[in-house]
Structures are given as C-alpha cells and as structure tokens.
Amino acid sequence: MRAISVLAVVVLALLLIPFPSAAEDPKPPSDDLSLTLGGRVWATTATSSRQVSAPGFARLSDLRWRGVDALVPEVNFELVWRRLVGLMTLGGGIIKDGVLIDEDFSSSGQRTSATRSAVDDSHTFHVSLDVGARVFDWAAQQATSRGYIDVLAGFQYWQERYVAFGGTGFPTAVGGDARAISNDYRWRSVRIGARTQVPVYRGLSVSLRGYLIPWSSLVIDDVHYLRDDLRRDPSFRDEANGGIGGQVDAAARYAITDRLAVELGFQYWMIKSAEGDETAFGTAGTVRQTLKEAKTERYGPFVGVRWRF
C-alpha cells in the first residue's frame, strides 16, 4: 500500500504544481492542433505472483515468477487539439530469462513440494488509450519548450506470458528441456491520472506522469504440461475483478529542434488483484478454489525520441 500512497501523492502533486499566469506568458499560445509520434526502449525487470487457497487449505499453492526481464520497445501517439488530449501507447518484448518458484502446502500449512524452473520463450505486451484535457499551458523565460498540465483517464490491456522449463527441488526433479508450466496473465484496467511538462532552460524540460488504477479485471490461464491428472486447455483458470495499482514515469527531455526531442527517464508499473476464483480442470472433473491475490510489477529506465508534426 505504500507504493499506492506514493502514486496518489504524485497525481495530486501534478494537479497542484504552481505555474505562471497567462498575463506573464511571454510567448504566443500553443498551436490549436499538434500530433507527436514517439518511440521508447524500456529496459525492464519484472515479477508476477499468485497465491491460491481451497476449503481446508489456508495456503494451497504459491507461484512466483522472478527476474522476467525484457527489453520493451514502445510506440507513442499524442494528439492535442485545443484543450483536448488523446494518447495511445503500444509496446511489447521477448522474455528470455527469469525463474519460477512453485510451492504447494498441506492443510496444516507445511510445505509439501518446492521446485525452481528456468523461464524462456515468453513475452510481455501492452496497449493503452487515454483521453483528457489540458487544464493549463504556459511558456517560461529562456525556454523553447512550453509547459502544460493535463488530466487523463483511460484503459490499458497488459499481458505477461511466462513459460517455465524443467525443475529442481522436491519431491521430484525434471529435465531442463521439458516444458513444465505456463502462465498467461491478462490485465484489463481503468486508470485515471495526470501529467505535466515543466520547462527548465532552452530546450531542456522535465516531464512527469502518474496514474492510479482503481479497478482491473484479471484472467490467468495456467497449463501444467507434466501432470496427467489435469487438462491442458488450461489446467487452471483464475479470475478476479477489482484490486488496485499504479503507474508512474519521469523523464528529462531535450528539444534539439522545434520538432525533434530526446528523453531519458524511468518507468514503474504495478497492479494487484482483488480476491477471485480459481477453477482446476481435472481429467475427472472441475474443482473450485480461491485466488487470494495476484500481482505484477514491471519497471526500469528508458530512452526515447519524439517528433512533433
């Protein structure tokens, strides 16, 4: 909850940043229409986890995906017409590293199995669409970039697909080339937030953006390839509605010309689900269990370029 509190403070701060009055604006107002195309390369690390319980089992199973790193290219579209703002982002990357830690427990809480598997042949993907309003913009002395404050609301689809190979631990070990488990996390989220660009000097400016995610819908499809007592289309399905999350990014930008700019920054994303349902698809029938919580984080630095038409 500490991370959520920080993100909420960031969004509030964006709305309260002091800015000069229009009478002090030494430059003409911004264009009525502008389109900006941007590209980023986001060097990320990530973690995902889920905890499951069942009648008589306060803790039945824990699956934790760690270090599922990816280099994520992003394409960003930004349209501003008068005071209306539209944003679209599309990104994704290949995951070739990481580990899965899979633990099962007895009804008394004792650990009955624990395996560690390598991750490969995986990916991450996201697409988002936001609309909003430019509540203020201004020009600063000795700066070529304009400042602005936008309020935003939108939707994001975020997928994390992991595949684990082999396994070491107890009670059994599996060869490293054998496909063991796959998990497909699909987050559909509503988000609200704000962003600002603050001119510093000449072409240098600082940008800050923050979103609060008050609601998400999550579906996780789990396939256990080595268990004969489970189906594989999928073996387990988790579903949850609700939860909370947040996203924030900050960058230093430099406008090389009035159209071309470069940026360097850091981005952090996190979503945590509410309690939900899990269905185990056995070869002899289905069993209902409880998804206690699922969570995904992805974060890291980025570099980017922006072109304003």
Tell whether the model's pLDDT for residue 3 goes beyond 50.
no
Which residues, in sequence order, are bridge partners of residue 51? 62, 293
Tell me the CATH number at 261.
Answer: 2.40.128.90
Domain that holds residue 226: 2-18+33-308
Query: For 196-209, how does the pLDDT look when each residue is reduced to its tens digit (9 = 90+)?
Result: 999 999 999 999 99
Identify whether 104 is part of a domain: yes
Question: Is 265 a domain residue?
Answer: yes
The answer to whether residue 195 is domain-embedded is yes
Q: Is residue 144 part of a domain?
A: yes
pLDDT above 70 as % of the chain: 90
> Is 261 inside any structural domain?
yes
Q: Is 123 exposed, middle or buried (0-12, 13-18, 19+ CB in 10 A)?
A: middle
CA triple 270-275-278, angle to 5 deg = 110
* Average pLDDT of span 159-175: 92
- The values of phi and psi at residue 9, to 5°, are -65, -40
Q: 70 pLDDT exceeds 50?
A: yes
Determine whether 233 is exposed, middle or buried from the number of CB atoms within 10 Å of its CB (0-12, 13-18, 19+). exposed
| pTM value surpassing 0.85 | yes
Number of structural domains, the chain? 1
Q: What is the CA radius of gyration of the chain?
A: 23
Is the pLDDT at 143 greater than 50? The verdict is: yes
Structure tokens at 22: 């229009």
Please indicate, yes or no, if residue 26 is contained in any of the structural domains: no
Indicate whether 28 belongs to any domain: no
- Size (the chain), residues: 309
Examine residue 71 and state whether it is found in any structural domain, yes or no.
yes
**What gap in Å lies between CA 71 and CA 41, rounded to an integer?**
7
